[in-house]
Chain A
Amino acid sequence: MNRIIEKEYFSENVVKLVVEAPEVARARKAGHFVIVRCGEGGERIPLTIADADASKGTVTLVVQAVGVSTRKICALGVGDTLTDLVGPLGRATDICLHNGTVVCCGGGVGVAPLLPIIKAMKEAGNRVISVLAARNKDLIILEDQVREYSDEVIIMTDDGSAGRQGLVTAGVEEVIQRENVAEVVAIGPAIMMKFVALLTKKYNIPTMVSLNTIMVDGTGMCGACRVKVGGKTRFVCVDGPEFDAHQVDFDEMMMRMKAYN
């Protein structure tokens, strides 16, 4: 049982939860995720870790209410508990000092798992430009925290209500055209990651994506999370969640994410 000690609404359907999990808070690194279960009959669902405080023994999760389980989790209040939280799972992000700019782009709640990567990239000494994208102004999350660790932040909205009107790819391409970009990190909806991958492939820039597929156990046992990467079937939970974007079969992944719809 893991107690919720802080809750904040980023928007009507997006909630930030600070949860007690001392061992996970101590062990986790950028890129890791946890599996969470809410209620005795609850599903096991993967959630990426947005932040952690080892001294307080807490991890921060950002949850968007889209299905049965995420709605249940978003409805929890301070003092309530998650039935289970296990992790940290997956492989940590490979952080190094690049010879060139690192562009970190996040779509919607994808900004939450992106934040620890932005932080780590900056702390490794990189020039970091972050591109945040959402449908509208209200859905842009964690902007202040992202600014704190970025040399520049570009905001893109579908309706132009914040930053510039346009898709995330427009923001990324602008940076690519004006400076030497060594790596792109993209986290967000599958379709967004697919188009970022197509763009950076054109420029031959190494690109990393973090996949959020269907999982059951999250420990390499069930294979529900399998995706094709470079023509080979890989398991997101133990081989990922981060992969070379140019090798990921996004169309198959999007098809598989609808398996239980």
Chain B
Amino acid sequence: MTDNNIQGRDTGWRKALREEMTAKERTAIPRVEMPMLDGAYRVSCNDEVNQGLSFEQAVLEATRCLDCPTPTCIEGCPVGIQIPDFIKNIQRGNLPAAAKILKATSALPAVCGRVCPQEKQCESRCIYNKMKKAPVAIGYLERFAADEEIARGVDINTNKTKTNGIRVAVAGSGPAGLSFAGEMARRGFEVDVFEALHEIGGVLKYGIPEFRLPNSIVDAELASLRNAGVRFHTDTIIGKTLSYDDLLNQGFKGIFVASGAGLPKFMGIPGENYCGVLSSNEYLTRINLMGAGRKGFDTPAPVGRCVAVVGGGNTAMDSVRTARRMGAERAIIIYRRSETEMPARREEIEHARQEGVEFMTLANPIEYLADEKGRVRAVRVQRMELGEPDASGRRRPVPIQGAIDEIEIDLAIVSVGVSPNPLIPDNIDGLDVTDRGTIAVDENLCSSIPAIFAGGDIVRGGATVILAMGDGRHAAASMAEKLLADAKC
């Protein structure tokens, strides 16, 4: 999409904005601080921690952007958002234009503005880094523009694209599936999304807690996709409820499999099946999706006074922070490497610390102990030290001989990764699967069955929301090209 009035570095208004201030003046402005709730207060509720920028803060932060002739930030974005275009529209106060630019490449900007690891992507490529200064807060600005769009209640997707009559199906309504659905609807395809659970949104609903991503934000993005003509079906498992042949018989010409991460990994240590030892998937699903522990919800909540969360990723941080909100007096991250190696976002680690989470690094659980009823009562941890770098480039943790501690706990949440969901690979004949259990795809994300494309965690094994969305976008481009070529024959 190019719109001469809102996009392009050579438009008159953009030139005028650049001439308003020198680079020196811009770089002298300090990076905006995200307003947030106080740590002690936020463990008492599920309110969103980051409160979002004010209009004035957003405009000032947008002013920091130097509007580089070759903006490297875009290269850091998995979906290639036209970053300076939207930022400069914020600076001049044209928020609908900023939102329109975001929506042109991302189906879920309000989600991405919150959960993308911008510090490793767009912001890591910002020119400010070369000047040893904090990069432009691209993520905060993205969220600001998207939230303003939602608040205005005007949806740019209300102008539906004229349908081309070609039906496509999506298995899974997480980030990859939603991004694909948005892209295909925009191109005029008739899109039906099938979700196994009773709620649309995948990991955005069952996994990421509301204090990081409120459900109302996800729902607003879903409403926008519905406006664009996307149809959603809950309680439907592709490969089970509807077979591949059923979909073909219903007239679907292409299928995008975005069924996500499945089986939680466990460590295979003694006592891991005791009551009170559970996966982060189970813990977060019970609380986020099923409302466990809240009035009017029947699902029982796993509650502990002293909760150990094993792992150092974002899911581990989500779990340990949820445990604090569920009333845990002690909530401890147990991680086998040091904090430097933790894969979680720095922001999440900092937020967890502000909320009173304890960090026990260089420690690896080796056994759980239980009471006479089989309920976990302690975890034994092996203390570690860092040795030589391993295949991942991170220093390998090695056990310190004899250094074993026993920590009293009454709940343990295992957050050491997931394997791909086996339901679709197991139930569609002829679909090639890698030895890791992921669906094998070519560079166009096409599987061994020409009508089936796949992306997100079912292909990657376990990645981020934005990489999944990038796959959805990529698969949509290649499937659309193929189906339109087929239609001409």
Please tell me which stretch of A6-14, A34-42, A111-119, A122-130 contacts chain B, meaning at least 4 of its Cβ atoms lie within 8 angstroms of it: A34-42
Instruction: Scan residues 236-261 of chain A and give those whose CB is less than 8 A from a CB of chain B.
Output: 238, 252, 255-256, 258-260
Question: Does A233 sit within 8 A of B, measured CB to CB?
Answer: yes
Instruction: Confirm or deny: B242 has a beta carbon within 8 angstroms of a beta carbon on chain A.
Output: yes
Contacting pair A37 B198 (CB below 8 A): yes
Question: Is A233's CB under 8 angstroms from B272's CB?
Answer: yes
Nearest-neighbor residue (CB-CB) of A251 within chain B: B374
Residue of A44, A86, A221, A226 touching B273 (CB-CB under 8 A)? A226
Check A222/B281 contact, CB under 8 A, given A88-B241, A255-B374.
yes
Contact A216 B299 (CB under 8 A): yes
The reply to whether B279 and A222 form a contact with Cβ atoms under 8 Å apart is yes
CB-defined contacts of A23 to chain B, threshold 8 Å: 236, 241-242, 246
* A235 is an interface residue with CB less than 8 A from chain B: yes
A24 located at the interface, meaning its Cβ lies under 8 Å from any Cβ of chain B in the complex? yes
Is the CB of A228 closer than 8 A to any CB of chain B? yes
Q: Do A223 and B266 touch across chains, with their CB atoms under 8 A apart?
A: yes
Q: How many residues of B contact A (CB 8 A)?
A: 44
Q: How far is the CA of A186 from the CA of B239 in the complex (A)?
A: 28
Say if the beta carbon of A188 comes within 8 Å of chain B: no
Question: Is B373's CB within 8 Å of the partner chain A?
Answer: yes
Contacts of A43 in B (CB 8 A): 290, 298-299
Cβ-defined partner of B297 (8 Å) among A41, A223, A258: A41
**Could you say which of B234, B300, B302 has the most chain A C-beta atoms within 10 Å of its C-beta?**
B300
Determine if A85 is an interface residue (Cβ-Cβ < 8 Å).
Answer: yes
B235 contacts the other chain (CB 8 A) = yes
Interface flag for B322 (CB, 8 Å): no
Q: Is the interface of B mostly helix, strand, loop or mixed?
A: loop
Task: Among B196, B266, B290, B300, point to the contact of A233 (Cβ < 8 A).
Answer: B266
**For residue B75, which residues in chain A have a CB less than 8 angstroms away from its CB?**
none
Contacts of B302 in A (CB 8 A): 260
When chains A and B are docked, how far (Å) is the Cα of A222 from the Cα of B276? Answer: 14
**Interface: B76 (CB within 8 A):** no
User: What CA separation (Å) do A89 and B276 show in the bound complex?
Assistant: 26
Interface residues of A in 106-154 (CB under 8 A from B): none
Contact for B282 among A222, A252, A258, CB less than 8 A: A222
Q: B residues within 8 A CB of A226?
A: 266, 273
Residues B282 and A224 in contact, CB atoms below 8 Å apart: yes
Q: Which residues of B contact A87 (CB under 8 A)?
A: 237, 240-241
Minimum CB–CB distance from A160 to chain B (whole Å) comes to 34
B263 touches A223 (CB 8 A): yes
B198 touches A44 (CB 8 A): yes
Interface string of A201-223 (1 = CB under 8 A from B): 00000000000000011011111
For A41, give its contact among B261, B278, B291, B374 (CB under 8 Å). B291
Q: Does A158 contact B (CB under 8 A)?
A: no
Which chain B residues border A220 with CB–CB below 8 Å? 262-263, 421-423
Q: Are B275 and A219 in contact (CB under 8 A)?
A: no
B198 touches A68 (CB 8 A): no
Which residue of chain A has the shortest Cβ distance to B420 in the bound complex?
A: A220
Closest to B274 in A: A255
Report if A44-B240 is in contact (Cβ < 8 Å); known contacts: A219-B262, A222-B264: no
A170 to chain B, nearest CB (A): 30
Cβ of B300: which chain A residues have Cβ within 8 Å of it?
A: 260
User: Is A69 part of the binding interface, using a Cβ–Cβ cutoff of 8 Å?
Assistant: yes
Contact between A259 and B275, CB atoms less than 8 A apart: yes
A221–B263 CB distance below 8 A: yes
Q: Is A53 an interface residue (CB 8 A)?
A: no
Which of chain B's residues has its CB closest to A259's CB? B275
- Which residues of B sit under 8 angstroms from A24, Cβ to Cβ? 241
Min CB gap B209→A, angstroms: 16
Interface pair B273/A258, CB less than 8 Å apart? no
Q: Which residues of B contact A235 (CB under 8 A)?
A: 263
Q: Does A83 contact B (CB under 8 A)?
A: yes
Flag if A41 contacts B242 (CB, 8 Å): no
Give the docked Cα–Cα distance between A260 and B282 (Å): 13
CB distance from B274 to the nearest CB of A (A): 8
Chain A contacts of B262 at CB under 8 A? 219-221, 238
- Closest B residue, CB atoms, query A39: B298
Complex alpha-carbon distance, A1 and B438, angstroms: 32
Q: Binary interface profile of B, 264-287, with partner A (CB < 8 Å = 1, else 0)?
A: 101010001111101101100110
> B108-139: which have CB < 8 Å to A?
none
- CB neighbours (8 Å) of B297 from chain A are 41
By the criterion CB–CB under 8 Å, are B240 and A88 in contact?
A: yes
Task: Kindly state whether residue B153 has any CB partner on chain A within 8 Å.
Answer: no
A27 at interface, CB cutoff 8 A: yes
Q: Which residues of A contact B242 (CB under 8 A)?
A: 23, 27
CB nearest neighbor in A for B375: A259
A45 to B262, CA, bound (A): 19
With known contacts A23-B241, A222-B281, A223-B281, A258–B197 Cβ distance under 8 A: no
Interface string of B372-395 (1 = CB under 8 A from A): 011000000000000000000000
B296 within 8 A of A: yes
CB distance from A194 to the nearest CB of B (A): 16
Task: Please state if B281 and A221 are interface contacts (CB–CB under 8 Å).
Answer: yes
Contact string against B for A residues 6-35, beta-carbon threshold 8 Å, 1 for contact and 0 otherwise: 000000000000000001100100000000
In A40-54, the 8 Å CB interface with B consists of 41-44
A42–B199 alpha-carbon span in the complex (Å): 13
Question: Across the interface, do B240 and A258 meet the contact criterion of CB distance under 8 Å?
Answer: no
Give bound CA distance, A83 to B199, whole Å.
12
How far, in Å, is B413 (CB) from chain A's closest CB?
11
A216-B296 contact, Cβ under 8 Å, with A27-B241, A83-B198: no
Q: Assess the A216–B290 pair: CB atoms within 8 A.
A: yes
- With most chain A CB atoms within 10 A of its CB, the pick from B234, B276, B298 is B298
B241, B276, B374, B422: which contacts A86 (Cβ < 8 A)? B241
Tell me the complex Cα distance, A224–B241, Å.
22
**Is B164 close to A, CB under 8 A?**
no
CB proximity of A84 to chain B, nearest CB, Å: 4
Instruction: Show 21 A/B contacts (Cβ-Cβ < 8 Å), sorted by A.
Output: A42-B298, A44-B290, A83-B198, A84-B198, A86-B198, A87-B241, A89-B237, A216-B285, A217-B196, A217-B197, A217-B285, A221-B261, A221-B285, A233-B272, A238-B422, A252-B273, A252-B374, A256-B275, A256-B374, A259-B276, A260-B300
Query: 3 tightest A-B contacts by CB?
Result: A222-B282, A255-B374, A260-B300
